[in-house]
Amino acid sequence: MTCRLKTACLVAILIATPALAVESNFNRTADEMKREIDNHLAAAQTLLDQILAVEGQRNISNTLMPMNEMSIHLDNASSKASLLGAVHPEKSVRDAADAGMQEVAKFSTALSLNRDLYEAVKSVDVSGADVETRRIVFKNLRDFRRAGVDRDDKTRARVKQLQDDIVKLGQTFSRNIAEDVRHIKLDSPSDLAGLPDDYIRDHAPGDDGKITITTNYPDAVPFMKYADSTEARRRLYEVYRKRGFPNNLETFGKLTMKRHELATTLGYNNWAEYITEDKMIGSDEAVDEFINRIAELALAPSKKDIAELVAYKRKFDPSADKIHDYESGYFAEKLKGEKFSFSSQEARPYFEFGRVRQGLLDVTGRLFKVRYEQVNNVKLWHEDVTCYDLYDGDKLLGRFLLDLHPRDGKYKHAACFTYQTGIKGKQIPINALVCNFPDPKATSGPALMEHGDAVTFFHEFGHLLHAIFAGHHDWIGISGISTEWDFVEAPSQMLEEWCWNPEVLQMFAKHHETDEPIPASMVAKMKAASDFGKATWVRQQMFYASMSLNFHNRDPVTFTSTDLMQELTAKYAPYDYVPDTYMHCSFGHLNGYSAIYYTYMWSLVIAKDMFSEFEKNGFFHEETAMRYRRAILSSGGIDDAANLVKQFLGRPYRFDAYGKWLESRAKPAS
Ligand SMILES: [Zn+2]
C-alpha cells in the first residue's frame, strides 16, 4: 500500500492560539496561500522573540507554552501547504504552496539550530511536570541534538544550508514524477482484448484512430493485469518505469550527496545510520538484518509461486522458462482464475465506489463507536472533494476531506495528509485522504472499484482515524500521528483486515444491480487468490526496502544508482531487470522515506500481531476495539510505540503472527 504522511516538523514543539472554531474554507488562491504562510511565519517569529526575551527563571508557561504555539503555527503552515501543493487544480497555487513549504522548512531548520532556544528549553525544570510534558521536552531536546544545535557556528550554518537543499531537491524529485505522465498508443481496439468492457468503452480511439493508455493508475493498473497483448504490456511497463528519467537520475544523485554530507557533518557514518536512530528499529544494521530475515523467510514460498506461474505460462508458450515483471500480474490473474475459479473482475460489481465509501464509514463507525456527518457549507479546492465531521456521541473529534479521483497535476498515489494537527483546547484535527479511485463522472456506467482499491481505502482511512483520535493532546510534538515513524503504518495495515472478512464485507459490498451481498464463497476465493503470490510480493517489497537502505548506507560517490538498483534487483527481486528501465527515478518514497522504506513491512509485523487480538475476540468485539482505540490510536506519541503495543496486547510485540500469515494459504471454499 502506498501512502505518505506528513510527519511532524523537526523541532516538534509548538502551538498557536486560534479559537476552537472549525475551519470551513479549504480553498486558497496563490496569493492567499502565500499570505497565510507569511502570517504563520510572522507569528512564529514574534513568539520566538518573546521566548528568547524572557528574563529570570524559565518555566513551562513562559517558555514551553509559547514554544508550543510557535510550533503550531509552523505545523499549520506546512500542513496546509503540503496538502494544497499536492491536490490544488491550479498550478499557481501548487507552486505557492511548494514555495511556502520551503520557507517553513527553512524557518524550522533555523529553529532546530537555534542555540539560545535549545538552552532555554534545557533550563526548564520539568521534573515535577506531568508525563506528557516531560516527554515533549525529552523529544525536543533529542531533536535539537540530532539537528546539530550543539555544533559550532560554521557547522550549523552548513547544516542549515544542507537541510534547505534537501527539501528543494526532494520537491524536484517528486514533481518530476507527478508531472511525468507518459502513454502508449495502440493501433486498434483489438489491442484491448482481455480488458473489462467498461474499460474498453472508456478507451475509444482518438482522432488519430489510436487508443491512448496513460501511466495513470486507473489506466495502467487494469491494463497490466488484464491486457492479453504481452507486447503492449511490455511497452506500457517500459514507459511506466521511465517516469522521472533521466531528470531524476541527476536530482537523486544530488539528493544522496547532500544527505550523506549532512549525516557525516553531524557525526554519523551515513544517512541511514542517522535516520534510523530515533525509530523503533534503532539502527541501519538492524534494518539490513530485518530485510534479510524477511526476504529469507519469503524465498522458498515465493519460488514455489513463481514455478507455478512459469508452468502455467508454458501452456501458452511451451518454451517459457521464466516470468517477467510485465507478465506476472497478467498470468497470476489468469492462473488464479483457473486455480480458484476466480477473477478479480467478478468482484468489481460488488465494489461500486459510493457504496464502498459509505460502507467504510459504517464499518469504522460501528467498530470505534463514532458517527460521521457530511458537512456541506464548506469551500473546497475541487468539486470532487467531500467533507465530513467525526463525532463521539455529541463530541466533535475531528473533520476530514475526501479527494478520491484522479485529476491532472494531482498527487498520483494514495495518502492521508494532515491539514491541521489536533491540539487539545486549541484546534480540532483535520485530515484529508487523497486517492485515485475510479471516478463516477468519468465512466459511462457505475464506477466499479477493484477489491484492492477498497483495501487501499480502508488502509488510508486507518491513518485518518489514528490522526483524529490522537489529535487531542496539549503538545503538538506528541499529538496526532507522532509515534515513531516505523510504527505509523501499523494501524492502517491492521484496518485492511476488515476488508477481507466476509461478514464485514457483506455489510456494504453489494451488487450494484441486484443488491445481493458479496457471497462468502467469493470472499474465500479472493482470499485464497490473494494468498497466492504473497511471498513474491514480500520479496518485491524487500527489494524496494533494500534500494531505499542501500542508496543511503554508504558514501554516494562509491556507487551509481542505476547499477546498484540492478544489483539489488538480482539479489532480492523476484523478476529480472528489464533493460532500459529506471524504477528508482519514479520511486517516490526515496524523497519522503529516504532510507526507511522497510517501515511498511516492520509495521506489518506489528499490525499482524495487534490484529491477532481481534481475530481471537471478534472483528467488532467492543472491549477489544475500545482498548485498541485508547491504547494505540488515542495515545498518539505520548509513549514509545513498543510500550503502547504492550499496553494493548498485555505483552511485548512478537513476530509469530506475521510468520504464520506468511506461511498460510487460505483454501477456497468448495
Ligand atoms: Zn499507509
Put residue 637 in one of left, alpha, beta given phi > 0 → left and psi -120 to 50 → alpha: alpha
Q: If you measure from the C-alpha of residue 546 to the centroid of ligand 1, how many angstroms do you get, rounded to a whole number?
A: 19
Q: If you measure from the C-alpha of residue 630 to the centroid of ligand 1, how many angstroms do you get, rounded to a whole number?
A: 20
pLDDT, average across residues 86-110: 94
3-state secondary structure of 649: helix
Would you state the cell numbers that stand for residue 320, as one nine-digit string?
Answer: 517459457
Dihedral sign for Cα atoms in the order 561, 562, 565, 570? negative
Question: Using one digit for the tens of pLDDT, what is the confidence trace for 423-450?
Answer: 999 999 999 999 999 999 988 889 999 9
Q: If you measure from the C-alpha of residue 617 to the centroid of ligand 1, how many angstroms do you get, rounded to a whole number?
A: 25
* DSSP-assigned letters across all residues of 279-320: SSS-SHHHHHHHHHHHHHHHHHHHHHHHHHHHHHHTTT-TT-
Beta bridge partners of residue 389, listed in sequence order: 373, 399
Q: If you measure from the C-alpha of residue 167 to the centroid of ligand 1, how many angstroms do you get, rounded to a whole number?
A: 22
Beta bridge partners of residue 390, listed in sequence order: 372, 398
Q: If you measure from the C-alpha of residue 70 to the centroid of ligand 1, how many angstroms do you get, rounded to a whole number?
A: 28
* Residue whose grid cell is 491513518: 463
Q: If you measure from the C-alpha of residue 458 to the centroid of ligand 1, how many angstroms do you get, rounded to a whole number?
A: 10
- The amino acid that residue 519 corresponds to is P
- 375 phi and psi, to 5 degrees? -110, 125
- Cα(516)–Cα(356) distance, rounded to whole angstroms? 14
Q: If you measure from the C-alpha of residue 489 to the centroid of ligand 1, how many angstroms do you get, rounded to a whole number?
A: 5
- Cα(269)–Cα(267) distance, rounded to whole angstroms? 7
In the sheet that holds 395-403, the strands lie side by side as 371-375, 386-392, 395-403, 430-434, 415-420
Nearest of 38, 53, 46 to residue 106 by alpha carbon: 38
Q: If you measure from the C-alpha of residue 5 to the centroid of ligand 1, how many angstroms do you get, rounded to a whole number?
A: 7
Q: At what angle do helices 65-87 and 30-52 cross, to 10 degrees?
A: 160
Contact of 404 with 394, CB cutoff 8 Å: no
pLDDT for res 364: 98
Q: If you measure from the C-alpha of residue 4 to the centroid of ligand 1, how many angstroms do you get, rounded to a whole number?
A: 6
Q: How many residues does the chain have?
A: 670
- Evaluate if residue 605 carries a pLDDT over 60: yes
Q: If you measure from the C-alpha of residue 112 to the centroid of ligand 1, how many angstroms do you get, rounded to a whole number?
A: 27
Nearest of 353, 428, 447, 406 to residue 87 by alpha carbon: 406
Nearest of 640, 665, 670, 23 to residue 308 by alpha carbon: 665
Domains and CATH numbers, the chain: 30-148 (1.20.1050.40), 181-240 (no CATH)
Q: If you measure from the C-alpha of residue 488 to the centroid of ligand 1, how many angstroms do you get, rounded to a whole number?
A: 7
Nearest of 287, 284, 271, 283 to residue 602 by alpha carbon: 287
Nearest of 530, 524, 457 to residue 495 by alpha carbon: 457
**Longest CA span, the chain:** 85
- Evaluate if residue 8 carries a pLDDT over 60: no
Instruction: Provide the pLDDT confidence category of residue 668 given band limits of 50, 70 and 90.
Output: low
Question: Using one digit for the tens of pLDDT, what is the confidence trace for 112-124?
Answer: 989 999 999 999 9
Q: If you measure from the C-alpha of residue 106 to the centroid of ligand 1, how many angstroms do you get, rounded to a whole number?
A: 27
* C-alpha radius of gyration, the chain, whole number: 25
Q: How many CB atoms lie within 10 A of CB 534?
A: 19
Q: If you measure from the C-alpha of residue 317 to the centroid of ligand 1, how many angstroms do you get, rounded to a whole number?
A: 39
Q: If you measure from the C-alpha of residue 490 to the centroid of ligand 1, how many angstroms do you get, rounded to a whole number?
A: 8
Q: If you measure from the C-alpha of residue 491 to the centroid of ligand 1, how many angstroms do you get, rounded to a whole number?
A: 9
Q: At what angle do helices 284-313 and 599-617 cross, to 10 degrees?
A: 80
Q: If you measure from the C-alpha of residue 459 to the centroid of ligand 1, how many angstroms do you get, rounded to a whole number?
A: 6
- Evaluate if residue 291 carries a pLDDT over 70: yes
Q: If you measure from the C-alpha of residue 573 to the centroid of ligand 1, how many angstroms do you get, rounded to a whole number?
A: 22
3-state secondary structure of 258: helix
Instruction: Provide the pLDDT confidence category of residue 2 given band limits of 50, 70 and 90.
Output: very low
3-state secondary structure of 269: coil
Q: If you measure from the C-alpha of residue 255 to the centroid of ligand 1, how many angstroms do you get, rounded to a whole number?
A: 24
Q: If you measure from the C-alpha of residue 592 to the centroid of ligand 1, how many angstroms do you get, rounded to a whole number?
A: 13
Q: If you measure from the C-alpha of residue 161 to the centroid of ligand 1, how many angstroms do you get, rounded to a whole number?
A: 31
* Residue whose grid cell is 487460505: 666
DSSP 139: H
Nearest of 406, 456, 399, 449 to residue 427 by alpha carbon: 399
Q: 332-341, 373-382, 435-444, 541-550: which range is least confident on average?
A: 332-341
pLDDT for res 3: 52
Q: If you measure from the C-alpha of residue 244 to the centroid of ligand 1, how many angstroms do you get, rounded to a whole number?
A: 23
pLDDT, average across residues 587-610: 95
Helix (H) or strand (E) holding 254: helix 247-265
Q: If you measure from the C-alpha of residue 492 to the centroid of ligand 1, how many angstroms do you get, rounded to a whole number?
A: 6
Per cent of the chain over pLDDT 90 is: 88
pLDDT, average across residues 383-390: 97
pLDDT, average across residues 175-203: 95
Average pLDDT for the chain:
93
- Evaluate if residue 10 carries a pLDDT over 80: no
Would you state the cell numbers that stand for residue 547, as one nine-digit string?
Answer: 534500494
Q: At what angle do helices 91-112 and 131-147 cross, to 10 degrees?
A: 90
Q: If you measure from the C-alpha of residue 462 to the centroid of ligand 1, how many angstroms do you get, rounded to a whole number?
A: 8
The CA distances from residue 162 to 301, 499, 552, 635, in Å, are: 44, 43, 16, 34
Nearest of 211, 214, 222 to residue 240 by alpha carbon: 214
Q: If you measure from the C-alpha of residue 525 to the centroid of ligand 1, how many angstroms do you get, rounded to a whole number?
A: 26
Per cent of the chain over pLDDT 70 is: 97
Q: Write the CB contacts of 293 (distance below 8 Å, at least 6 apart in sequence).
A: none
pLDDT, greater one: 245 or 660: 245
Q: If you measure from the C-alpha of residue 456 to the centroid of ligand 1, how many angstroms do you get, rounded to a whole number?
A: 9
Q: If you measure from the C-alpha of residue 600 to the centroid of ligand 1, how many angstroms do you get, rounded to a whole number?
A: 8
- 511 phi and psi, to 5 degrees? -55, 130
Would you state the cell numbers that stand for residue 539, as one nine-digit string?
Answer: 520479496
- Cα(496)–Cα(607) distance, rounded to whole angstroms? 10
- The amino acid that residue 257 corresponds to is M
User: How far is C-alpha 67 from the chain's CA centre?
Assistant: 29
pLDDT, average across residues 479-487: 95
Contact of 475 with 136, CB cutoff 8 Å: yes
- Evaluate if residue 73 carries a pLDDT over 60: yes
Nearest of 386, 47, 412 to residue 216 by alpha carbon: 412
The secondary structure of 220-244, three-state, reads: HHHHHHHCCCHHHHHHHHHHHCCCC
Q: How many CB atoms lie within 10 A of CB 286?
A: 15
Q: If you measure from the C-alpha of residue 173 to the centroid of ligand 1, how many angstroms do you get, rounded to a whole number?
A: 20
Would you state the cell numbers that stand for residue 77, as one nine-digit string?
Answer: 503552515
pLDDT, average across residues 484-507: 96
User: How far is C-alpha 460 from the chain's CA centre?
Assistant: 8
- Cα(62)–Cα(120) distance, rounded to whole angstroms? 10
Question: Using one digit for the tens of pLDDT, what is the confidence trace for 17-42?
Answer: 344 789 999 999 999 999 999 999 99
Q: If you measure from the C-alpha of residue 3 to the centroid of ligand 1, how many angstroms do you get, rounded to a whole number?
A: 4
Cis peptide before 218 (omega within 30 of 0): no
* DSSP-assigned letters across all residues of 559-579: --HHHHHHHHHHHH-SSPPPT
Strands 371-375 and 386-392 come out as antiparallel
- Per-chain residues with Cβ under 5 A from ion ligand 1: 3, 489, 492
- The amino acid that residue 306 corresponds to is I
DSSP 460: H
User: How far is C-alpha 610 from the chain's CA centre?
Assistant: 20
DSSP 379: B
Q: If you measure from the C-alpha of residue 59 to the centroid of ligand 1, how many angstroms do you get, rounded to a whole number?
A: 38
- Distance in angstroms between the alpha carbons of the first and the last residue of the chain: 30
- Evaluate if residue 12 carries a pLDDT over 50: no
- 465 phi and psi, to 5 degrees? -65, -40
Q: If you measure from the C-alpha of residue 577 to the centroid of ligand 1, how many angstroms do you get, rounded to a whole number?
A: 27
The secondary structure of 153-199, three-state, reads: HHHHHHHHHHHHHHHHHHHHHHHHHHCCCCEEEECCHHHHCCCCHHH
* Residue whose grid cell is 522521472: 244
Q: If you measure from the C-alpha of residue 373 to the centroid of ligand 1, how many angstroms do you get, rounded to a whole number?
A: 24
Q: If you measure from the C-alpha of residue 397 to the centroid of ligand 1, how many angstroms do you get, rounded to a whole number?
A: 21
pLDDT for res 379: 97
Q: If you measure from the C-alpha of residue 263 to the centroid of ligand 1, how many angstroms do you get, rounded to a whole number?
A: 27
Q: How many CB atoms lie within 10 A of CB 317?
A: 11
pLDDT for res 669: 53
Would you state the cell numbers that stand for residue 166, as one nine-digit string?
Answer: 534537501
- Evaluate if residue 410 carries a pLDDT over 90: yes
* Residue whose grid cell is 532555554: 120
Would you state the cell numbers that stand for residue 446, as one nine-digit string?
Answer: 457505475
- pTM for the whole thing? 0.85
